[in-house]
Amino acid sequence: MANVSIRALNKKYDNGFHAVKDVNLEIHDKEFMVLVGPSGCGKTTTLRMVAGLEEITSGEIRIGERVINDLPPMDRDIAMVFQNYALYPHKTVFGNMAFGLQMRGYSEQEVKKRVKDAADILGIETLLERKPRQLSGGQRQRVAVGRAIVRHPEVFLFDEPLSNLDAKLRVQMRVELKRLHERLETTAIYVTHDQVEAMTLGTRVVVMKDGLVQQVGEPLELYGRPANRFVAGFIGSPAMNFVEVAISGAGDALWAQAEGLRIRVPQQFSSRIQTGTRLTLGVRPEALRLANGSDEHSFATAVDVVEPLGNEILLNFRAGGVPMVARVDPSVRVKAHDNIHFAFDPQRLHFFDAKTEAAI
Amino acid sequence: MLIERKWKKWMYFYLPMAVFILFTLFPFYWMAVTAFRPDPELYRTWRQPNAAPLWTLEPTLEHVIGLMKTTAFPIWLWNTMLIAIVSTIISLVCGMFAGYALARLRFRGSEFLGTAIFITYLVPQTLLFIPLADIIRDMQLGNTPWALMLTYPTILIPFCTWLLMGYFKTIPKELEECARIDGATRFGAMVRIIFPVAIPGILSAGIFAFTLSWNEFIYALVFMASADQKTVPVGVVSELIRGDIFFWGQLMAGALLGSVPVALVYSFFVEYYVTGLTGSVKG
């Protein structure tokens, strides 16, 4: 059992910077947990504290039943893959993968066997005698992963392992990592700033900002029910559209209004929203569609820029005083500067408190 | 267009390059020619017929043989070699650990320490030999190789420390972190990963330390008295200039033989040396 539990974890640097604030996480056995957030949000620091590369200011980290706060990295039974691969340049691929085993005193036979097994899994059997500088980026990445898996650790730690690869390779390696995780069934903690990576890889995803955990959940849960405006804006591309709206009306007939925009507040919100307040309305690009005229949630606008992507078309326009994006079917024929009506899907609207930014 | 470019290349590249090479290499050439020139030819004026100032008509080994037979040159060579190697090793070992500590460890006053070490490097030897002579006398090390083996590191350690500190800083931190996760202690990671990766830097520090101690003059002159303890630079100058007579042939033969080991060391490690001073490590 290799569940990782992080309790009230804090990291304060000597210069007073509070990088990680009261983080509580329960990472289950065999789970692939992704920490995602903008740079400086404390995700890497959290990971490095789990690895033992960064001192813990306060709080507790357990792997299984062991408290590992004060254990040196070598005794934590973890393996880490770094962003720049951190391959030992003076060792061959074999030497790189064998180093951790040799340091732990495995027999030569066992080392050979394990390295060979790992190399087979990753398809790098033919590279074992090469030096890292003779490898391409993708191959180095594989070696770095191989070096982690030969040890059969309790927990894998990944620190943005794909961000040094080009876009195409990144997509390919992403799938391979997921496949690998399914095969090895080892608990993994993965740090990235790329929300697509987070969504595709994570069993669950932790969104962090300014050292605080914003939301923990399965990818679709984060997407469908973001806990606050930050998560809503961070997850999904193009990002969710936000408009400041004023609430008017009474009872069941509440209306959200902004410049050139007046829509009816859907039923499910009416008990939680009061008239006279100001809120932020959030709507995903795909929750906008072309209106057929009779919609209660529609508004008129002029399309600004059309981005035909092939499988979809992105329409940029202004509504409620802010720029917005709609994602529509590629069969829609719209030219720039056309005047059209958009309608919201009432089931997929989000409201956020204007001050606390929490979802309503 | 192309012709103009060619012309420019000659003008701005080859010509200055040729001048530079001539300027640097001519003294060495002169030294070599003089070492093999027989005495009558050496003291012949340029105006005389069949004078050949730039080359020699009858090359001879008499100076080299004379140097070996009439002076303690082989012993000087041995002294110099021993002293240079030992002081280089001492300085490298100290420089590696100090450089690593300054580059990687966070401790109170580490920046001050780094600067202080650098400042000691700036104190000229021509001042430093006075207090050092006092210490050498008190410790009764004068006229023994230890006098030089222990004083050369005072100039070499700051240099090695700074060069290696700079080199260690170019090595990604993650290499070491990864080694520590892989099961090495901090010390183990340093010895097994950082030092092997830093070999170009360590070699260039070593070469530099070796040549500095090989060529050192003042300390060797002050701390060594008897002829059989001298190093090549001091021995050649003090034993081959007798009164106002310069034994040019033997002087130059001594200089030539004295520079051969240094030239060999450089030529073996020149590639490492260049990457050590300019290059960095990529993972």
pLDDT of A280: 92
> What is the overall mean pLDDT for chain A?
90
User: Phi and psi for A322 in degrees, rounded to 5?
Assistant: -130, 155
Placement of tokens 């391959």 in the chain: A87
Q: How do residues A64-84 score in pLDDT, each as one tens digit?
A: 889 999 999 999 999 999 998
Cross-chain CB nearest to B181 (options A80, A85, A140): A80
User: Phi and psi for A281 in degrees, rounded to 5?
Assistant: -95, 130
pLDDT of A226: 94
Q: Which residue, among B104, B107, B178, would best test binding to A if mutated, counting the most A CBs under 10 Å from its CB?
A: B178
Half-sphere exposure of A172 (CA within 13 A, CB side): 11
Half-sphere exposure of A196 (CA within 13 A, CB side): 10
CA A22 to chain centroid, in Å, comes to 20
Residue, of A343 and B275, whose pLDDT is higher: A343
pLDDT of B276: 64
Distance CA A287, CA A326 (A): 8
Quick check: B190 and B177 in contact, CB under 8 A?
Answer: no
Is the Cβ pair B178, A78 closer than 8 Å? no
Mean pLDDT of A332-344: 86
Q: Which positions in chain A touch B178 (Cβ < 8 Å)?
A: 80, 82, 86, 88, 147
Distance from CA of A136 to the nearest CA of B (A): 12
Placement of tokens 């005495």 in the chain: B39
Q: How do residues A92-138 score in pLDDT, each as one tens digit?
A: 999 999 999 999 999 999 999 999 999 999 999 999 999 998 999 88
Q: Is A21 helix (H, G, I), strand (E, B) or coil?
A: strand
Q: Does B188 touch chain A (CB under 8 A)?
A: yes
Cross-chain CB nearest to B182 (options A84, A89, A99): A99
Distance CA B86, CA B210 (A): 9
pLDDT of B70: 87
pLDDT of A155: 94
For B179, which residue in chain A has the nearest alpha carbon? A100
Quick check: A257 and A245 in contact, CB under 8 A?
Answer: yes
ipTM of the complex: 0.84
pLDDT of B41: 81
Quick check: B143 and B229 in contact, CB under 8 A?
Answer: yes
Counting as low any pLDDT under 50, the low residues of chain B are 279-283
pLDDT of B283: 39
Q: Which positions in chain B touch A132 (Cβ < 8 Å)?
A: 283
